[in-house]
Amino acid sequence: MSLENKEFKPKIVAFCCNWCSYAGADLAGSSRLTYPADVKIIRVPCSCRVNPMFILRAFEKGADGVIMCGCHPGDCHYSTGNFYARRRMTLLFSMLDYIGVENGRTRVEWVSAAEGVKFSETMNSFVEKIYSLGENVRLGDLRCKN
């Protein structure tokens, strides 16, 4: 199969907090709601566990989009974790935008444990967005490409 004909299959990393979004994904599954298999979920104890470096690292290793999901502001299991995460991610996304990485490749969405539908809708729309943006060529490490 030549490289040109290879169909674009995006790699999408989703960081989901243990208490809300991961349970939300679970609910989406048990409610038989679908979302694309391109999304790989990484469970984190809290959205504020997501170090900005995780996101850069994901891009480096070939991710085409990174989404972070956590409890709604005010509902954090640890009371305030997602407030800190929100500031951090805002600054990081702004910096990525500043160096010329399309803003659509990064997203933060608050998904509660009861929002299976929202989880599935969020993932569907995010994957669609990544399909429209195409492969991430700006941030990938060439050594990580197959």
Partner 1 sequence: MQELVNRAKELLADGTVARVLGWKAGDLPYNPEPAYFEKAEELVDFVYNGFCGANLSKYMIEASKLEGKTMVCLKPCDTYSFNQLIKEHRVDRDKAYIVGVGCKGKLDIEKIRKQGIKGIELIQGAELTDEADTLKIQTIYGDKTCAYADAMLERCHVCKGKEHMVYDELIGDSNETKDADRFDEVAKLETMSPEEKFAFFQKELSKCIRCNACRNVCPACSCRKCVFDSTKFDSSQKANVDSFEEKMFHIIRAFHVAGRCTDCGECSRVCPQGIPLHLFNRKFIKDIDELYGEYQAGADITSKAPLTNYTFEDAEPSIVGKRG
Between 128 and 141, name the residue whose CB sits nearer to partner 1.
141
> What minimum distance in Å lies between the beta carbon of 32 and partner 1?
29
With b for 16 or more beta-carbon neighbours within 10 A and e for fewer, the 20-47 pattern comes to bbbbbbebbeeeebebbebbebeebebb
User: According to CB under 8 A, which residues from 125 to 144 bind partner 1?
Assistant: 138-143
Q: Residue 130 in contact with residue 105, Cβ under 8 Å?
A: yes
Kindly state the smallest distance separating residue 1's Cβ from partner 1, in Å: 25
Rounded Cα gap, residues 99 and 104, in angstroms: 14
Shortest distance (Å) from residue 82 CB to partner 1: 9
Applying the rule CB under 8 A, the residues between 93 and 122 that interact with partner 1 are: 93-104, 106-108
Q: Return the number of the residue (31 or 80) whose C-beta is nearest partner 1.
A: 80
The helix/strand/coil state of 88 is helix
Q: How many residues does the chain have?
A: 146
The two three-digit tokens of residue 30, written as one number: 């048990």
Among 23, 58, 89, 123, binds partner 1 (CB under 8 A): 89
Of 21, 27, 35, 88, the residue at the interface with partner 1 (CB under 8 A) is 88
Determine if 86 is a binding residue for partner 1 (CB under 8 A): yes
